[in-house]
Homo-oligomer: A and B are copies of this chain.
Amino acid sequence: MSQYLRQLEVVIHEGRQTVSSKELSRRLGVTDSLVRKDLARLGLSGCAGVGFPCQELLSSIRKLLGIDSIWPVAVVGCGNLGRALIGYRGFSDRGFRIAAAFDLDPQLIGRHIGTATIEPFSQFASIVKAKGILLAALCVPAVAAQPTAERIIASGITGILNFAPVILDLPDRVSVAHVDFTIELEQLIFAVVQSKLDRL
């Protein structure tokens, strides 16, 4: 679905008013049938002979994905990775905002990065509650990931973007998305090796 969004933005940028399932399918590398089926599943309909209205499609998908409003996100752990995330452009115009950043290290606390100031982790619960934050990006070392995750969900966080190379064991009511560079790299290598073998 995110891919649909991205391509829609491109099409809109080109000044188009409508887009056909065929056009979208071409851009996404899938069949037009699938595009129509996907959009129908979301309850969206187009005009036979014309296509789908771009703007309506865009806002409908945004709404369905829950990104029609701006979600404040807390960054937990401000090492290299956490700081990179705080500085990451492209969140702001896509429905996210780094609303708070936390660390344990007294050396880091109080530092400004981008628009955020690093707060002591002890303040997590109160700040998160005050700002209505529901999502956290977990950027702590692997060993700290599980206990930190447990502590932050106790403060009402319901979604965690986990950057630690550890599988978190958390209650079902919490959603976890896992970003693991090692896995991504392994998959890349696998693809490279495969493609080499194919060419022999």
Interface residues of A (CB under 8 A from B): 1-3, 5-6, 65-67, 71, 73, 79-81, 83-91, 94-96, 134-135, 141-142, 158-161, 165, 167, 172-173, 175-177, 179-193, 195-196, 199
**Which listed residue, B81, B134, B159, B190, touches A66 by the CB 8 Å rule?**
B190
Contact B175 A66 (CB under 8 A): no
Contact B173 A199 (CB under 8 A): yes
Assembly CA distance A187 to B5 (angstroms): 12
* B186 in contact with A2 (CB, 8 Å): yes
Tell me the nearest residue of chain B to A28, going by C-beta. B167
Contact yes or no, B65 A181, CB < 8 A:
no
- Select A135's contact among B87, B159, B185, B195, beta carbons within 8 Å: B185
